Structure 1
């Protein structure tokens, strides 16, 4: 309790202040402590294998307005709970220039459900309309600073660069889609499409910790 009180005082947030602002500041601290991208950074291109056997690069989306990069996995119950919502995001925004790119960085040695063969089976059974890429070396996840699945990075195409505009959760209710009150990813993309700034730029992702290879 004393630790949180100190953090609140340090951040200049009183107990009567808006709880969402406090949570966002805590999430911002955690993101800054990571070695990955921060909001406003330009993401480097990557090239990973898709479940259809093709190689997919971020540069393949140079004609898009941006991309919704989601680190996810087969085994994680949180990722499974969000699967239909990820599909819905792509169905809504791909035609408007913001397609989903799903990336699985999970070590298949830890969870057999995350083998490439299982990824192919999952993508086919659910009819993914977006790439489902395997980050076998885990270097892309490390570059982004991803720590959990699912974790979202919304990138806006700015000139020749893909600039990070949002990092965090898809929405505020992993357990119950009907109980969602904050559509973080949806709202961020909708704002970018209408030329407005993203209001909530960082949230703390809730999901399974990525198991890193030794």
Structure 2
């Protein structure tokens, strides 16, 4: 495990890069699939990383709590050297209820993670709906628990979603997320 902190090329107000990725239900998803929502949280995550695993329950809770926010996990670790992160294992985690987001998608080419500038798991990007576009409102930590065994006391993304749904600007500064490095394939 290599510890990384996120540092995206996307800035607040930038439009979400488009994608079309296969979900654990076998359907393809793009950001437009979630256009009925006011907020879209895209979290680059995976199955095996202890930092990502520590946030599964919190992301499930966010998905349950906010009807007008879509919570989407994207697994960019399409690397044969990390079989725990396989698509088949993603399907199992959804089937057994470990992951219960609006969608859990597989970035098989790793191109989407590159376009977003994701570097670690988890790496959250929160967008607000603006007309036909998704615009970045917050990029950073889900909460203040920096280690898998720590209990959070501040919930940055939850408060940011609440701000978006209230039609307000997100007051929190972007804070680098911390987690395992994305397992890039040799090109």
- Please give the TM-score of this superposition, normalised by the length of structure 1: 0.79
1:156 counterpart = 2:157: no
Match 1:122 to one of 93, 96, 101? 93
**Distance change (3 Å), C-alpha of 1:140 and 1:56:** same
Unmatched 5+ stretches in structure 1: 1-26
* Aligned pairs (5 A) from 1:103-182: 103-126=74-97, 128-173=100-145, 174-176=147-149, 179-182=151-154
Count of residues in correspondence between the two structures: 180
Aligned-residue offset at 1:209: 0.5
Measure, in 2, the Cα distance between the counterparts of 1:122 and 1:108.
18
Unmatched 5+ stretches in structure 2: none
Aligned-residue offset at 1:152: 0.6
**Which of structure 1's runs of 4+ aligned residues deviate more than 6 A?**
none
RMSD between aligned alpha carbons? 1.6
Measure, in 2, the Cα distance between the counterparts of 1:83 and 1:64.
21
* Aligned pairs (5 A) from 1:1-214: 31=7, 34=8, 36-93=9-66, 95=67, 97-126=68-97, 128-173=100-145, 174-176=147-149, 179-214=151-186
Q: Kindly indicate whether the alpha-carbon contact (under 8 Å) linking 2:17 and 2:116 is maintained by their aligned counterparts in 1.
A: no
Q: Kindly indicate whether the alpha-carbon contact (under 8 Å) linking 1:68 and 1:155 is maintained by their aligned counterparts in 2.
A: yes
Q: Greater share of strand residues, 1 or 2?
A: 2
Higher relative contact order (CA 8 A, sep 6+): 2
